[in-house]
Amino acid sequence: MRDFSSDHSALALNTASLGHNLEGHGAGWEPERLIDACAARGFGSMVFWRREIGSRAIEIGERARAAGLSVAGLCRTPFLVGTDAVDRQTVIDGAKASVDMAAGLGAAVLTIVVGGVHPGTKGISESLKIVADRIGAISPYALERNVKLALEPLNPVYAGNRSCLATLRDAVDLCDVVAASNLGVAIDVYHVWWDRDLDSQLQRAGKDRIFGYHLCDWLADTRDVLLDRGMMGDGVADLKAIRASVEGAGYTGPCEVEVFSANNWWKRDPGEVLDVMVERFRALC
């Protein structure tokens, strides 16, 4: 397992951790200011959201690299299934536009959160079949543009409306079904910390299909399952054990801090939040 106590170059910022992804929250810093703040603190890479990039993908990607940072990823495709994703062609076109943005940024990975239960169906099985069909239509387009697609299984509390893909087991199954060389998974502590099947499913995924590792913590008395994530060390997730499993399966990439915290971290000074991330990462992750 890598030792981060004296080297945090594996640390990546997911910009949503500073509140930029929700109206009325966060510092409202432009990408350039975020890039400089991360570079000054020795972060190795960054992950942006589409709304921050707009039509400036190439410019922002180049700006990050000029500051010594890589762009580890882009969040994320629009939902592939669910009430906002009914028309197949519209979904595929939206996903392809996200692929284009990731390619312009030079982002290594485009994350996919698949969406909730599809209208007219019950349970998750039918929805997952529709997801497989739609990813099958998107993955060749992404492959041509050198973009990897990372399926992120979300905590089952979101299975109804955000992600019918709720376990790493189902995510690896989906990878097997679609069988595209650029399709893999992203592991987020918030979504998998409870899963005692994690280690064996990571082994099944293998190093060539683990495209991302996301850090935060699960607060024991969480007040909001979407916007009350904990900073690493403040919750009950066994961070070192999870990373041992992820790296035991061969992952050597960035560790991306992704903390949605409307009533705590998003209210703080972004510079302070970044400093705490570095400190916690080196000591606790």
Residues that bind Zn ion (CB under 5 A): 188, 214, 258
Question: Which is nearer to Zn ion, 82 or 92 (by Cβ)?
Answer: 82
Interior CA angle at 202 toward 200 and 205, to 5°? Answer: 115
CA of 16: how far to CAs of 19, 52, 142, 185, in Å? 5, 10, 24, 20
Question: Which is nearer to Zn ion, 47 or 117 (by Cβ)?
Answer: 47
Closest distance to Zn ion from the beta carbon of 144 (Å): 26
Closest distance to Zn ion from the beta carbon of 185 (Å): 11
**Cβ atoms within 10 Å, residue 161:** 14
- φ, ψ for residue 283, nearest 5 deg: -90, -35
Question: Which is nearer to Zn ion, 247 or 258 (by Cβ)?
Answer: 258
Closest distance to Zn ion from the beta carbon of 257 (Å): 10
Closest CA to 171 of 183, 157, 189: 183
- The residue whose two tokens read 């005692």 is 196
Closest distance to Zn ion from the beta carbon of 226 (Å): 12
Question: Which is nearer to Zn ion, 92 or 112 (by Cβ)?
Answer: 112
Closest distance to Zn ion from the beta carbon of 214 (Å): 4
Q: How many angstroms separate the CA atoms of 38 and 261, rounded?
A: 19
Question: Which is nearer to Zn ion, 152 or 234 (by Cβ)?
Answer: 152
| Token pair for 281 | 């990462």
